[in-house]
Chain A
Amino acid sequence: MIAFTAESPSANPQFSPVDGINPSVPSQVLASPTQLTPPSRLIRTYDFPQQLIPLDGGKTLLRLRAPLRLAVDRITLEFDVENWGIRMRCDDVHELPRQIARRFLHLFSRADARVLSNQEQADWLKILDQVDYTQFSVERAAPHYVEGTLLKKRPLTVEWHDGVVEHLPASHSPVFFPLDEGDRFSAFAKLGKDNEVYSIERLALIPA
């Protein structure tokens, strides 16, 4: 946007001039501001609103439970991502989603191989608290081969090979477009929470 917003935002982060206003000094002070330099005077936190981090070219999304909190050091113009063990230059903030993905996949792989160091173990536990790991596992899982019979198109109802009858969301209907009711089919399905079908693809007819 060019008008009515920041004027041609520069590449460098810009801070409000109000940052430079000194707070009024209380009438009774124990030490001068120069003697006491609390960290809060040097650090300001910002939220990074993107809560969906694409993995696998967007086929899997890492879902954050809350916006990332960036603690910006106003002296070095670098920021730390709280609980992620990531430090970056403010000018590179657009790279943050990629770095989050890298950090997550790095720890995920090491956790999978059971080679996390103590520090990584602590970081990994903090990260797991901040992401929807169940949904990540569902989206990342390899699809299962399934067989069934299409009972009804509306509402979409199938009977799986083990006799279980399930109503599927209408969003899966396009996959079943070529089938008639009563057709037997095979497909590859990803199963989500409680074994419901999360996605279904590569559908084929099984000859009667």
Chain B
Amino acid sequence: MAEPTPTVSVSYKNPPIIERALSVRGDIKPETFYSQFETWRPLVEEEFPEYDPIKEWLVQIGQTKEGMPLLDQSQPVVRVTHRFWRRNQDGRRFLSIRILPDQLTLNLHREGSVPHRYSELRAEFERWLPRWMSHFSVSGCSRVQLEYVNLLSAKVTPQFTDDKGGLMIGRVLKVFAGIPTHHQGIIPPYDCQMGLRIDAKKPAAFHLRVRGLIPGPKQGVGVRIDFLAVVDKGGGYLSLSDVLNEADFLHTVMVEHFDAIFTDEAKQSFEPEVK
């Protein structure tokens, strides 16, 4: 097992991050959630005035021993996530707050060339976490999760797009950089994923997923790289300050893995700022 890498205080002026999300799961009785949600809503709408729920129609798919896909016998469900948006001065959505019966999430999106920073997401989260815990009488939290969505595309990372609109992914991600065979280029699909146990005592884990995106009519090739770091206590208890401390810990995990997963050439192009 590799030794932990010493923390390096490097940030990037232009990383390919298009979205950051910080979530916490709390212990809320369903009666409390549904009786309090209607009074929570106007509080949120003061700062996030645009209600735009996410509606997911979820079907489980299994497969036979022969690999044939089949609908699972369990009953499909509909899940509604209450999402409220804040727009910037140009009228673009950039920050949202999402509510499930036991979960609070804040999502901060890239605004054009402005990728934002963890500190901005953290500041909003620090304001809303105590309100959420107080309003829904959250007795304790069990899970904190930080997610970064990176996008490699002609728009976000033009420095790695060739003349024909192709993506030079082998020059960006270390996992694609050292393929030990003779080849003339890496072609889709790029999809892969892995999980790392970071700290068994917390317990904390890090997950990486790479997915090729289907290009739209006006877009070229795109590759989405999801980083997810999580502390999950199961039935354990995290206080308000614990949640914030764990979020900061997860950010250090994120920084460390960002540094390890992208190539030196890619990081140099992201314009490092050493503090």
Contact = CB atoms under 8 A, between A and B. Distances in A.
B78 A93 contact: yes
Nearest to B59: A16
B149 A3 contact: yes
A50 B34 CA distance: 9
B36 A58 contact: yes
A60 B70 CA distance: 42
A61 B34 contact: yes
B39 A57 contact: yes
A32 B36 CA distance: 54
Interface string B55-76: 1110101000000011100011
B54 to A, nearest CB: 5
Contacts of B223: none
B55 A11 contact: yes
The secondary structure that dominates the B interface is: strand
Interface in B14-29: 19, 21, 23
A187 interface: no
Counting contact residues on chain A (CB < 8 A from B), the size range is 35 or more
A116 B227 CA distance: 57
B37 A58 contact: yes
A94 interface: yes
A18 B226 contact: no
Nearest to A57: B38
Contacts of B75: 45-47
Point out which of B39, B55, B76 has the most chain A C-beta atoms below 10 A from its C-beta: B55
Contacts of B61: 16, 18
Contacts of A1: 21, 23, 81, 98, 105, 147
B80 interface: yes
